[in-house]
Amino acid sequence: MAKDEPKKKLVGQWRNLHGAIWLIGLAILFWRGSFWPGILILIAISALIQIAIMRFVPNSYVEEVPQTPISSEMPDPPLSLQPFLGTLGEKVVNHPEQLPTNCPRCGAPSRGHEVKWTGPYSADCAFCGANLPLAK
């Protein structure tokens, strides 16, 4: 398989058949006690069955979708550090005493260590994201 080709995996009953071959083969190896040559034979049988499935049942494989990260941005710092860190890590002086006691939109309590500070004099509700009006 080339580097550019997407990976393929067995689906449905063909994946179950492949798993059953391994379970039955391992059970026979435990029962007989001949692991060393037996495991090589089991690998060969598994590979041959996989090749046969790939050749005679072309829709038994599905291309895997590559996992891409949701966001390449750095995650937000923990809520306990947000009041102290600005956009570039510099110390920001916030004014939690100017916060309203409850969010005007959702009614949740607004605490200085829980809100998301968007600037020295602006904050967003931790629950609904609404901008909180600060007292002057």
- Predicted pLDDT at 24: 92
Write down the domain spans for the chain: 8-63, 77-136
Q: Which of 35-49, 68-82, 107-121 has the lowest mean pLDDT?
A: 68-82
Instruction: Decide if pLDDT at 106 tops 60.
Output: yes
Taken as a whole, the chain contains a residue count of 136
Mean pLDDT of all residues in 21-44: 87
Tally of CB atoms within 10 A around 38 = 16
DSSP bridge partners of 117: 123
Q: Which of 9-23, 36-50, 76-90, 118-132 has the lowest mean pLDDT?
A: 76-90
Find out whether 93 and 68 touch, Cβ atoms under 8 Å. no
- Note the pTM of the prediction, 2 decimals: 0.40
- Strands 131-132 and 122-124 turn out to be antiparallel
One-letter amino acid identity for 102? N
pLDDT in tens, 58-101: 777 777 666 666 655 666 655 554 444 555 445 556 677 788 88
Q: In the numeric block, which tokens belong to residue 96?
A: 């939690």
C-alpha 96/C-alpha 117 separation (Å) is 10
**Cβ contacts of residue 93 below 8 Å, gap of 6+?**
120
